Amino acid sequence: MKKRRKTDQMPDENSPHDVATYRRAWHSYVARRNLVVVLFLSFIFLGFMVGKLKLGEPADFAILLGWIGVYLAGGWWLTEWKCPRCGKVFGHRLWTQRCISCDLSKDDVAAVARGKASSTGIDFPAVTDPKNQHH
**Contact status, residue 117 vs residue 111, Cβ threshold 8 Å:** yes
Task: Report the number of distinct structural domains present in the chain.
Answer: 1
- Residue 92 is part of which domain span? 15-122
What pLDDT is recorded for position 95? 79
In-domain check, residue 66: yes
Could you give the percent of the chain with pLDDT greater than 90? 32
In-domain check, residue 62: yes
- Determine the Cα–Cα distance for residues 30 and 27; give it in Å rounded to an integer: 5
* Single pTM value for the model: 0.70
In-domain check, residue 134: no
pLDDT, mean of residues 87-105: 88
**Contact status, residue 74 vs residue 39, Cβ threshold 8 Å:** yes
What pLDDT is recorded for position 66? 92
**Contact status, residue 100 vs residue 91, Cβ threshold 8 Å:** yes
Q: What angle do CA 36, 102, 37 make, to 5 degrees?
A: 10
What pLDDT is recorded for position 120? 47
What pLDDT is recorded for position 127? 43
SS3 105: strand
In-domain check, residue 3: no
